[in-house]
Amino acid sequence: MTLVASLLLVLAAGPAMAQGRQNRALDKRQNTAIKKNQRNIKQVRRTVRNVRTVLNAVGATVGTVRGDVTETRAALKAVQDLVPVFGKALTDLSAGLTTVGGGLQRLGSAFGSVEYGAVRLFGRTAGSGAEFRAVEGISANSSDILDDGNGALVTATVPVQSMTDPGRELTLRAAIRSAESDGGATGDPAGQVGAILYAKCASIPGVPATECGGSGSGIDPGQIVCAPQGPPPPQSNFGPLSEQIGSQPLINIQQKAPRSGFQNPTKDDPNPTGGGNCTLPGTGLYEVTFDVQFFDFPTSTTPGPTD
Summarised one tens digit per residue, pLDDT across range 166-187 is 889 999 999 999 988 888 999 8
- 144 & 288 share domain: yes
- Beta strands (DSSP E) in 61-190 are 115-125, 133-144, 152-162, 168-178
- 103 & 54 share domain: yes
- What average pLDDT does range 275-300 have in this prediction? 93
Does 1 reside within a domain? yes
Question: What is the model's pLDDT at position 19?
Answer: 67
Residues 301, 306: Cα–Cα separation, whole Å: 13
Instruction: Give the number of other CB atoms < 10 A from CB of residue 36.
Output: 10
- 13 & 75 share domain: yes
Does 92 reside within a domain? yes
- What average pLDDT does range 57-79 have in this prediction? 65
- 107 & 120 share domain: no
- 184 & 256 share domain: yes
| Banded model confidence at residue 268, pLDDT cuts 50, 70, 90 | very high
Q: Is 227 helix (H, G, I), strand (E, B) or coil?
A: strand
Q: How many domains does the chain fold into?
A: 2
Instruction: Give the number of other CB atoms < 10 A from CB of residue 265.
Output: 25
Residues 140, 156: Cα–Cα separation, whole Å: 8
Summarised one tens digit per residue, pLDDT across range 92-133 is 656 655 554 554 445 455 556 789 999 999 999 999 999 999
Q: What distance separates the 2 farthest-apart alpha carbons in the chain?
A: 194
230: left (phi over 0), alpha (psi -120 to 50) or beta: left
Does 187 reside within a domain? yes
- 147 & 284 share domain: yes
Does 99 reside within a domain? yes
Does 53 reside within a domain? yes
**Is the pLDDT score of 89 beyond 70?**
no
CA distances from 218 to 59, 281, 282, 295 (A): 117, 11, 12, 40
- 129 & 270 share domain: yes
Summarised one tens digit per residue, pLDDT across range 227-265 is 999 999 999 888 888 888 899 999 999 999 998 878 999
More confident residue, 276 or 87: 276
- 176 & 213 share domain: yes
Question: What is the model's pLDDT at position 2?
Answer: 66
Q: Which of 83, 112, 141 is the last residue of a domain?
A: 112
- 88 & 231 share domain: no
Does 77 reside within a domain? yes
- Residue 288 is part of which domain span? 115-295
Does 40 reside within a domain? yes
Residues 303, 147: Cα–Cα separation, whole Å: 6
**pLDDT above 90: percentage of residues in the chain:** 39
Q: Is 170 helix (H, G, I), strand (E, B) or coil?
A: strand
Terminal-residue alpha carbon distance, the chain: 161
- 143 & 216 share domain: yes
Q: Which of 112, 127, 162 is the last residue of a domain?
A: 112
- 287 & 143 share domain: yes
Q: Which of 112, 131, 161 is the last residue of a domain?
A: 112
Does 301 reside within a domain? no
- 139 & 253 share domain: yes
